[in-house]
Amino acid sequence: MKDNDDIKIIGEKLRAEYLSDDMEEGPSPEMVARWIAIADQRRTRIHRRKKMLLSVASCAAVLLLCIGVTVTCILKPSSAVAGNEGGTKIESGSEIKDVYNAEEDIPENIREEFIMFPYIPEGYEFSEATVESNKKIKKFELLYINKDNEEIYIKEIQSNNEDISSIIANPNTKIEQWDDIQVSISSYPDENTLVYIFAQNSITIRIDASKTVNKETIVNLIKNAV
């Protein structure tokens, strides 16, 4: 870029001098050197001006970014905050969700409010527990996984409006009586899962388990919990 600028400026000077009537010979080396020096000075001034403008623009961009981040932090605080008893609390509008990654972190009041399952089939380990609530409903979920990534998923709903009658219409659903517990068992042909639903007091419990887990194991799981 520098050589092109020099050539352009010197070329313009040479053209002007050659076209001048009072010039019979070409420009002297001293004159050409002076023109190159003038071109260098002009280019240096332009470069400094551009650098100054870029610096001002960069400072303005950084300032706007800082202002934007500050306003965002003030107007929209993080929705995930550390919860009590080692859990994580997530709030979204009227919804509140607590997540527990260790079974011992589940608070005592949740253990008393919902049904815990002390008997879990061999090979399954605790993965996660969540508690969700809003003005109308409260849910408690437990997830256990084995080494083959098969899951036992337990969902408890605390609501007087929830009962097992909502799935009776499923043609693959059957009702069984396990002592004093009425259990609805649903089979889905496209899934390798059986769904067991029963009610205890004002809580409806749903257990999703792989078909590799036999029914007798689920019977023991439920009877040891209620």
CATH number at residue 176: 3.40.1000
> Does residue 179 surpass a pLDDT of 60?
yes
- Last residue of a domain, which of 28, 58, 75? 75
Work out the average pLDDT over 66-84. 43
Residues 26 and 94 in one domain: no
101 and 136 share one domain: yes
Q: Side chain identity at 14, as an amino acid letter? A: L
Pair 200, 89 in one domain: yes
Residue 47 has pLDDT above 90, yes or no: no
Dihedral sign of CA atoms 210, 216, 220, 223 in order: positive
* Alpha-carbon distances, residue 166 vs 127, 170, 198 (angstroms): 29, 9, 12
Same-domain pairing of 10 and 39: yes
Which among 75, 109, 134 is the end of a domain? 75
Closest CA to 144 of 156, 157, 129: 129
Identify whether residues 64 and 92 lie together within a single domain. no
| Confidence (pLDDT) at 15 | 55
Say yes or no: 109 and 165 in one domain. Answer: yes
123 and 209 assigned to the same domain: yes
Owning domain of residue 178: 80-223
Q: For the chain, how many structural domains are there in total?
A: 2
Q: 51 with 85, same domain?
A: no
Q: Identify residue 85 by its one-letter amino acid code.
A: E
Residue 129 has pLDDT above 90, yes or no: yes
Whether 29 and 55 map to the same domain: the answer is yes
Q: pLDDT tier at 145 (50, 70, 90 boundaries)?
A: very high
Count the neighbouring beta carbons within 10 Å of the beta carbon of residue 73: 10
For range 106-127, the mean pLDDT? 93
Contact 154, 117 (CB under 8 A): yes
pTM for the model:
0.58
pLDDT at 95: 77
Query: What pLDDT sits at residue 134?
Result: 83
Of 45, 75, 105, the domain-final residue: 75
